[in-house]
Amino acid sequence: MVWRVGAQTGSSRRERLRAALVADVHAQAYRQIADDSLAAVSMTGIAQNLGLSPAALYRYFPSREELIRALIAESFEASASLTERTLADTAGLEPGLRLRRLLVVTRNWAVDHPIQYRIIQGILGDNRISEADAIVSPERRPFHAICLLVAELPRPEALADALPAAVQGHPGEVMLHALTIWTRLSGVISLELNGVLERMGVDADRFFEAEVDQLLPRTGTDLEPGAANP
């Protein structure tokens, strides 16, 4: 029995060490991407920075391609998990409140994880992003969540004929409203991450809040002003 416990402990320790090393490799790769793009990922450079031999690193990632795919998968999964947690945490609230919270949380995550945000948005220009459906299903992504919440909001009848009756499983007016929200959200986040707002002297928190207010007029139960960081 003692031997079994020891074996399990040893295995658990190896798993922890492996997970820690994988996390370090990912962190090094993200730093390389921050300085350039996905094309900048260098297995040799990562190995040198971590004090490993290239051969040792290849035991964890058989190729540079596998490492890049792991970074893309991790980025999509992080965004999807955040979306799911936000929907779960706001269950029972009014749709407008839930949507506002989702937009705020998405923006905060993008600011805290700019490289991962750029990866999932395809800003880094990598054709592997086209394989995203195999990584995280569309139903788990922020845009789908926006569509679901928009479908529960009152909406102008004028939008009804703007798009086909059903697009990606959602009525045309829902898609149009959701696309408007999504493009405004993506635009503001991109301007912030690229330093445009800072160079213009614009307060990013207040500007983002103003954009959300225009898209989702406040109600008596809405988030209070300044609640950009729930």
User: Cα–Cα distance between 21 and 57 in angstroms, integer?
Assistant: 9
Cα–Cα distance measured from residue 182 to residue 147, given in angstroms and rounded to the nearest whole number: 10
User: Quick one: angle between helices 172-193 and 95-112, nearest 10?
Assistant: 30
pLDDT of the residue at 7: 45
> Domain range holding 110?
68-230
Q: Are residues 51 and 76 in the same domain?
A: no
For the chain, report the end-to-end CA distance as a whole number of angstroms.
48
Confirm if 188 and 208 have CB atoms less than 8 A apart. yes
- Do 12 and 125 fall within a single domain? no
Residues contacting 90, CB < 8 A, separation 6+: 97, 98, 101, 102
Residues 219 and 173 in one domain: yes
Q: Give the model's pLDDT for residue 178.
A: 84
Dihedral angle over CA of 174, 175, 178, 179, nearest 10: -150
Torsion of CA 161, 163, 167, 169, to 10 degrees: -30
Of 14, 42, 62, the position where a domain reaches its end is 62
Residues 32 and 118 in one domain: no
Q: CA-to-CA distance for 135 and 57, rounded, in angstroms? A: 24
Q: Are residues 46 and 73 in the same domain?
A: no
Q: How many residues does the chain have?
A: 230
The predicted pLDDT at position 166 comes to 45
Q: What is the pLDDT of residue 80?
A: 93
187 and 90 co-located in one domain: yes
What CATH number did the domain enclosing 168 receive? 1.10.357.10
Q: Which of 62, 94, 112 is the last residue of a domain?
A: 62
Q: Which residue has the tokens 């190896």?
A: 14
Same domain as 58, residue 76: no
Residues 82 and 88: their CA atoms lie apart, in Å, by 10
How many folded domains does the chain comprise?
A: 2
Q: Based on the domain organization, do 101 and 204 belong to the same domain?
A: yes
Q: For every one of its 230 residues, what pLDDT tens digit does the chain have, with 9 covering 90 and above?
A: 333 434 445 568 888 988 999 999 999 999 999 877 788 899 999 999 999 999 999 999 999 989 998 998 899 999 999 999 999 999 999 999 999 999 999 999 999 999 999 888 876 655 565 666 667 777 788 888 988 888 888 754 444 454 444 445 556 667 778 888 989 999 999 989 988 888 889 999 999 999 998 888 654 334 443 444 44
Whether residues 93 and 51 fall in one domain: no
Structure confidence at residue 133 (pLDDT): 64
| End position of a domain, from candidates 62, 86, 111 | 62
Alpha carbons 206 and 186: distance in angstroms, whole number: 16
